[in-house]
Structure 1
Amino acid sequence: MNITSLSNDPVEWNDIAAFLAIARHGGLSAAAREIGSSAATLGRRMRALERQLNRELFVRQSHGYDLTIDGRRLLADLAPAEAVIARATAPDPQGALPVVRIAAGTWTMLALTDHLTRITGASPDLRLRLLQGEDVLSIPRREASIGFRAKRPTSDGLAARRLRRVTFAPYARADAPDAWIVVRADTRSARWVAERCGAAIAVETDTPRLALDLALNGAGRALLPTFVGDAQAGLGRSGDIIEELTHDQWLVTHNDDRHLPEIRRALNRIADIFG
């Protein structure tokens, strides 16, 4: 769709929307109620649009506004575009529940999945979109609504809440070999193992979650957060807590978003679980 004016200035979408409303209702009063304007304002805008396009679009009569031939042509040109815009801006057909996007690493996401109904509510009042990955998604760029961090963020515009203290220790089955399951990922815990395991490597993986499965299968020992390792019935600690990996966990959102009802509910519920 290409609408050009006599002066080659682009036609404002608000004026196009006003034209469509008047064409639908056949008059100014009903169209004004639809778009939240006044009839007098719409009348002025349509006269200005006609001058801009150098076309007479309406026959103004006592009973309302009838379309001229040029008006009907313009309506025929705009109708497909209006239908496309209506489809693109229609509410989510999956329902009216607001979506909260939560980004977390493998281990925190694993713990989150054990508490989904506590976050969504027993009668859900929000829908979660879980974004798992070791890369930190940007809250300022709205790549996620809520994120977990290993340290308090310093960027402007972010709100943070301290959660639990996270500790790490090696875990293994009693019959597992004295060798490491090495995760080839860019995380502090993975680097700690890679720097110290030497030749005592049982198996390597690029997926942190697979390291837990391998440990449960007796392939070797894996370095895990204690909130994950202690919850595994088949595993026991095979060493002390690694103090240098201990850190506070922070719950982060954008300062402009933290008062939105769905974000506030999710933040409070997560804090109740992990605080």
Structure 2
Amino acid sequence: MDWTASQLDWNRIRAFLATAEAGSLSAAARALGLTQPTLGRQIAALERELGVALFERAGRGLVLTPTAGALLDHVRTMGEAAGRLALAATGQSQRIEGPIRITATEACAAHVLPPIIARLRAAHPGITVEIRATNRTADLLRREADIAVRNFDPREPELIARKVGEDRGRPYATPGYLSKLGHPRGWDDLTRAEFVAFGETSDFIEGMRALGLQVTAQQVPVQVDSHLVHWELVKQGAGIGFNTEAVGDAEPRVRRVLPEAAPIVFPIWLVTHRELHTSRRVRVVFDLLADALSLQR
């Protein structure tokens, strides 16, 4: 089929790009907020428009055909240009009403953001909020979020970041588990303890050793990739786990493991794209989040 650039459907091109990067229709559909059949139809329509096959099945996933691989760099360039156009257009908006997308870790989204969002909605009922609770760092340039709550200072020059405070974390466990350990008083008393690790076990062990505790793999029998599941396991007595003082001290089923030890201190940053910071809606939400988060410390 003969075709021109003006005939290309951007939704179909975006579907191709998302599937190429995700490696499967199901993952790409989740990323785009579409159903898998809808995404599959968009891919099939683009293949008919271009007259080429774009994907081949490989096990449960998809791999690019050689032709699609040659097209991918051009499609990525189109995607980046579309993202910059959307950012620039949003940045020109001075309306407060409209959608805002905030990304934060599961723990922050579940334990910190709800009262802040309730306050935001009461003050600005015209703003609708989408919270992306994920432990993955969102790509703000590609509009995965408008504002991010992070625990590290971003280095990208396109981003605006404000440190709004510091949080304090500690190890927690149930009273029964602490009794079994003999009520430890220092890190050296935890050589027989078992931990519930969030994230990769090797990363957790490295982090413990940075604190001066030589944890072995045998001491980490449970590992999860969800903050919420991690905390439930700790509350059920599966081992020692870490949380912020605000969450841990408020939970009646657990106690501080080392009450006299210094807490683990980490920063709280709010991040947005420099062009989005010219949007009145984003600026209002950004400032409200900054004030609320700083008051909670």
- Asked whether the two chains share a fold, i.e. TM above 0.5, the reply is yes
Match of 1:179 among 187, 194, 205: 194
Structure 1, unpaired ranges of 5+ = 12-95
SS at match of 2:288: helix
Structure 2, unpaired ranges of 5+ = 8-95, 181-192
Cα distance change of structure 1 residues 181 and 115 upon mapping to structure 2, 3 Å threshold? same
Task: State the partner residue of 1:125.
Answer: 126
By how many angstroms is 1:9 displaced?
11
Match of 2:282 among 249, 263, 269: 263
SS at match of 1:120: helix
Letter in 1 for 2:215: C
Cα distance change of structure 1 residues 259 and 221 upon mapping to structure 2, 3 Å threshold? same
Task: State the partner residue of 1:104.
Answer: 104
Identity %: 21
Cα distance change of structure 1 residues 258 and 189 upon mapping to structure 2, 3 Å threshold? farther
Cα distance change of structure 1 residues 187 and 144 upon mapping to structure 2, 3 Å threshold? farther
Letter in 1 for 2:198: V
By how many angstroms is 1:103 displaced?
0.9
By how many angstroms is 1:257 displaced?
1.0
Task: State the partner residue of 1:236.
Answer: 255
Paired residue total: 184
**How do residues 43-82 of structure 1 correspond to structure 2 at under 5 angstroms?**
none
Indicate if the aligned counterparts of 1:103 and 1:147 stay in contact, CA closer than 8 A: yes
Task: State the partner residue of 1:144.
Answer: 145
Indicate if the aligned counterparts of 2:99 and 2:127 stay in contact, CA closer than 8 A: yes
SS at match of 2:238: coil
CA distance in 1: counterparts of 2:205 and 2:152, whole angstroms: 18
The structure with the larger Rg is 1
By how many angstroms is 1:129 displaced?
0.8
CA distance in 1: counterparts of 2:202 and 2:107, whole angstroms: 12
Cα distance change of structure 1 residues 190 and 122 upon mapping to structure 2, 3 Å threshold? farther
Letter in 1 for 2:157: D
By how many angstroms is 1:196 displaced?
4.4
* TM-score, scaled relative to structure 1: 0.58
SS at match of 2:231: helix
Cα distance change of structure 1 residues 185 and 112 upon mapping to structure 2, 3 Å threshold? farther
CA distance in 1: counterparts of 2:205 and 2:286, whole angstroms: 28
By how many angstroms is 1:242 displaced?
5.1
Task: State the partner residue of 1:272.
Answer: 291
Letter in 2 for 1:181: V
Cα distance change of structure 1 residues 221 and 186 upon mapping to structure 2, 3 Å threshold? closer
CA RMSD of aligned residues (A): 3.1
SS at match of 1:258: helix
State the Cα deviation string for residues 142-191 of structure 1 (Å, max 9, x = none): 22100122222221121111112122210111112542112234997685
CA distance in 2: counterparts of 1:187 and 1:123, whole angstroms: 44
State the Cα deviation string for residues 63-107 of structure 1 (Å, max 9, x = none): xxxxxxxxxxxxxxxxxxxxxxxxxxxxxxxxx951111111122
CA distance in 2: counterparts of 1:128 and 1:197, whole angstroms: 41
Structure having the larger proportion of residues in helix = 2
Q: Could you say which structure has the greater relative contact order, defined with CA pairs below 8 angstroms and 6 or more residues apart?
A: 2
Task: State the partner residue of 2:230.
Answer: 211
Cα distance change of structure 1 residues 222 and 273 upon mapping to structure 2, 3 Å threshold? same
CA distance in 2: counterparts of 1:186 and 1:113, whole angstroms: 30
CA distance in 2: counterparts of 1:120 and 1:191, whole angstroms: 41
Indicate if the aligned counterparts of 2:100 and 2:130 stay in contact, CA closer than 8 A: yes
Letter in 1 for 2:286: L
* TM-score, scaled relative to structure 2: 0.54
CA distance in 2: counterparts of 1:221 and 1:210, whole angstroms: 13
CA distance in 2: counterparts of 1:169 and 1:9, whole angstroms: 56
SS at match of 2:247: helix
